[in-house]
Amino acid sequence: MLGALRMAGDRLLGRGPDMTEMPELLAHGDRRGPDFICIGAQKGGTRWLFDQLNHHPDFWMPPIKELHYFNENIHLKWAEPLFSKARYGRGRLNRKLERSQMRALDDVDVEWLRALMWLHGKPIDFDLYSRLFSPKGERLSGDITPTYAIIAEEKVKAACANLPEAKIVYLVREPIERFWSHYCMIARQQKFENAADLATVEDFIRTGSGVRHSSPTKNVARWKEAGAEGRFGLFFFDELRTDPAGLRASIVGFLGGDPGKASGTLPPGFNRKSKDPKVVMSDRVRDHLIDLLGGEIRAAATEFGGPAREWPRKYGL
């Protein structure tokens, strides 16, 4: 809040960033674009992946994990405060970031944040979007935004057509487990009353995107059919639990990086998962979710194979 007020005051005094003139990064930046786009899954390990790549020497990752560019929902609530802190108190900010095992920000990151803020509210432009990845130089870079898994079909087709070299990454998680993790997060954030009640869960199903995010076979098919078939990498959240080093090596290798290089001091299993208590899933809710997502679980077992073959057994399917 203080950062936003400071920015507003600076604009009035003529000291703030000029949001009328296109930032240099967008006007004259490198047009090669992202090397990959991670489309999810939400609550499927994408934060873990961002952390691993953000500290890997073969990658340059944006200072914000989720760009939300294709769904035209750039989150200024993240970009503006970070931009203000990076301009006015970068030393303090970077000390805080490093304590949290996150990458320190530099002048390039400040310019990048200004460019992202400038793009807010403007129509999708793949040339300008591509220039957001200019800071990568000879490294690899990409956009990790889980909501891309469920964007409109025409946007999926446009992304595949306009970014033909970008690899597509999807971390798939067992649908009911993924749905419940998503639900618990929203229930905690929005302070749901009676969060464990079936009626509250049903209301979330009707009004939220939980079921669409828990439909991995449909989401994968949409992106593959739109043009990502030959450059699609499917990976399993299950392996983040059983073999994080192996999962990391598989994804880094698929993206073109060196799996043998460490991600700074981060161990492969480093995970920022919430420590807050989860909502207990009742038998009634479980049965309801089996009825709702059982078909998707069976389809994933058949189409994806691997760890997904074990998913139906958990629910007697």
Q: What is the pLDDT of residues 196-218, one digit of tens each?
A: 999 999 999 999 999 999 999 99
Residues 128 and 147 in one domain: no
Residues 6+ positions from 240 with CB-CB distance below 8 Å: 45, 48, 171, 247, 269, 271
Q: Is residue 9 part of a domain?
A: no
What are the residue ranges of helices labelled H in the chain? Answer: 2-13, 24-28, 46-54, 76-88, 90-99, 107-119, 126-131, 153-162, 175-190, 198-207, 210-213, 216-223, 238-242, 244-255, 283-304, 311-314
Residue 77, pLDDT above cutoff 90:
no
Q: Which of 108, 139, 170 marks a domain boundary?
A: 139
Q: Is residue 47 part of a domain?
A: yes
Mean pLDDT of the chain: 92
Q: What angle do CA 293, 174, 157 make, to 5 degrees?
A: 80
Which residue range forms the structural domain that includes residue 53? 36-59+142-317
Q: Which of 227, 216, 251, 225 is nearest to 160 (CA)?
A: 227
Which CATH number do you get for residue 302?
Answer: 3.40.50.300
Give how many domains the chain has, as a whole number: 2
Residues 178 and 157 in one domain: yes
| pLDDT of 272 | 84
Mean pLDDT score, 258-279? 88
Q: Is residue 172 part of a domain?
A: yes
pLDDT band of 40, cuts 50, 70, 90: very high
Residues 212 and 279 in one domain: yes
Cβ proximity of 59 and 266 under 8 Å: no
Q: Is residue 130 part of a domain?
A: yes
Mean pLDDT score, 43-52? 97
User: Token pair for residue 272?
Assistant: 């920022």
| pTM score, whole prediction | 0.92
Residues 106 and 222 in one domain: no
Q: Which of 88, 111, 139 marks a domain boundary?
A: 139
pLDDT band of 290, cuts 50, 70, 90: very high
Q: Which of 121, 139, 157 marks a domain boundary?
A: 139
> Percentage of the chain surpassing pLDDT 90?
87
Run of H or E including 233:
strand 232-236
Residues 246 and 290 in one domain: yes
Residues 68 and 85 in one domain: yes
Q: Is residue 7 part of a domain?
A: no
Q: Is residue 51 part of a domain?
A: yes
Residue 6, pLDDT above cutoff 50:
no
| pLDDT of 214 | 98
User: Token pair for residue 153?
Assistant: 């079909």
